[in-house]
Chain A
Amino acid sequence: MRSTNGQAWARPFRPRLTARASFALAPLLRPNAAYRAVAARLERAPRALRLFTALERRGKEALFGCAMCGQCALPVTGYACPMTCPKELRNGPCGGVAPNGDCEVHPGVTCVWVTALERAEEAGHADDLMRLQRPVDHRLTGSSSWVSYWLGRDEHLWSAPVDLGMPRMFP
């Protein structure tokens, strides 16, 4: 019964940039006054925004297999894109990961969350995987996440790493 024909579904992507390099380059994109101004200008210029978005897509597709969800989780997933999981899970791996770490839908391909954990640990950012990721806003699909990021619209995407100091339910 088990079909191996999972080719249509998103496929876990092994980033082409090391975790260390990704984290090292991240500050280059951090919002500042100049970026905010650029983003605001782009939003008023549809053609320029389309070009900018196409360039963002090209770069992130090549390096991270980016699916252009428009609300980038890479900074807190060890720079392994969770939208390349066939279930598009943003809070960690599902329970179906094979004993060798392969994706349940794509045998022979490592689960993107197995990759994410390895990369986050290697770069000293494993705590990031304990953040609660909010549901995806599908209206943003295809839009520039950098513009959203620079304009401060991404701040609600995830929580701080979870605090387990909550009240007791059972004795």
Chain B
Amino acid sequence: MSLRGALEAGRFAVTAEIGPPRGADRDAVGRAAAHLRGWVDAVNVTDNPGAHVQLGSLAGCLLAAEAGLEPVMQLTCRDRNRIALQSDLISAATLGIPNVLLLTGDHPVFGDHPEAKPVFDLDGVQLVGVARTLRDEGRLLSGREITPRPDYLIGAVENPFAPPVRFRAARLGKKVAAGAEFCQTQFVFDVGGFAAWMRQVVDLGLTQRCAVLAGVGPVRSLRAHEFLRTKVPGVHVPESVGRRLRGVPDERVAAEGLALCAETIAEIREIPGVAGVHVMAFGYERGIPAILEAAGLARRIHAR
């Protein structure tokens, strides 16, 4: 079943993230995808995450599709102006990519080329609006018409935990007004905080127009925990996570991290309005099925 199909049927959706390789490795995406086949409704292929150069998202999406998974093409405003962004949207649609996830993107200062020119010609909200106008009105930002029109599902992101927290549901509202039909969130480690944000999202009526998938992921070592806590902008890791991981012997930290992730998913499923989860496992795709199983999410019926 497709992501759109899962969301339209109101079935709890599962997406996962694949980070493309840094080298010209034709098989890397396929290897990662093989672990996920049958377990997820779609896979996101990241767009040079953290401003680190990798295989492009569009190429990665084609490889994921080849491996039998429905792709979600991530597209950030960090490296492209409005000409390149619109061109990439048309390319994605032409090549049959059924979903796009549109983001502002990290600042290059955090990446492997901190001296690069940051573009940010559009912001995430504007890019969502541009994608919707392309699809629903067949018009470029310039007003020029295009035919045939693209036909993708439009996704956006939100971080429920970043200040100003009281504006975060409203900000998703702006993206929904601009055209977002699904939203994948930043990592949820603080389920209570996420539930509070979700209540606002539901109260604003956003879940009737936009499917919210909560971002989750396993923290498999104390080093990964420290990295997430201190080096990744916008990730909020409450004290309880560190306490729990430090509370077990070294050789059990990885298992504890996986168990915590599965428990988090199970708790998130109980929160009203949540349409699914988005699993970001930092290259540990092979462990995702076990996490989903432990969380009580059965293997999906084979889609293709």
- The residues in A between 107 and 158 inclusive whose CB is less than 8 angstroms from any CB of B are 111, 113-114, 117-118, 129-130, 132-136, 138
Binding stretch for chain A, among B35-43, B162-170, B254-262: B162-170
- Interface contact A92-B174, CB-CB below 8 Å: yes
Known: A93-B164, A162-B177. A170 touches B234 (CB 8 A): no
Q: List residues of chain B with CB within 8 A of the CB of A134.
A: 126
Nearest CB of B to A140, in Å: 14
CB proximity of B37 to chain A, nearest CB, Å = 25
Chain A residues lying within 8 Å of B55, measured Cβ to Cβ, are none
In this assembly, does B157 line the interface, its C-beta being within 8 Å of a C-beta of chain A? yes
Which residues on A sit within 8 Å (CB–CB) of B206?
164
Residues of B within 8 A of A97 (CB): 162-164, 234
What is the minimal beta-carbon distance from A67 to any residue of chain B, in angstroms?
A: 13
Distance (whole angstroms) from the CB of A169 to the closest CB of chain B: 5
| Stretch in B208-216, B263-271, B282-290 touching the partner | B208-216
Residues in B neighbouring A46, C-beta threshold 8 A = none
User: In the complex, what distance in Å separates the CA atom of A105 from the CA atom of B123?
Assistant: 16
Contact among B125, B166, B209 with A91 in the assembled complex (CB-CB below 8 Å): B125
Q: Is the CB of A87 within 8 A of B107?
A: yes
Q: Is A31 close to B, CB under 8 A? A: no
What is the distance, in angstroms, from B162's C-beta to the closest C-beta of chain A?
4
Is A114 a contact of B109 with CB atoms below 8 Å? no
Is there an interface contact between A101 and B163, defined as CB atoms closer than 8 Å?
yes
What's the Cα separation between A132 and B120 when bound, in Å?
16
On chain B, the residues within 8 Å of A170 by CB distance are: 7-8, 10, 181, 208-211, 275
Chain A contact residues (Cβ within 8 angstroms of B): what range?
35 or more
A132-B177 in contact (CB<8A):
yes
Within 8 A of A (CB), among B141-162: 141, 157-159, 161-162
- A163–B177 CB distance below 8 A: yes
- Cβ-defined partner of B123 (8 Å) among A87, A111, A130, A169: A87
Q: Are B107 and A1 in contact (CB under 8 A)?
A: no
Identify the A interface with B (CB < 8 A).
1-3, 5-6, 9, 86-101, 104-105, 111, 113-114, 117-118, 129-130, 132-136, 138, 162-171
24 contacts between A and B (CB under 8 A): A1-B231, A3-B114, A5-B114, A86-B109, A87-B104, A89-B123, A91-B125, A92-B167, A94-B124, A96-B234, A97-B234, A104-B106, A104-B110, A105-B109, A111-B163, A113-B164, A118-B164, A130-B174, A135-B82, A164-B209, A168-B209, A169-B208, A169-B209, A169-B211
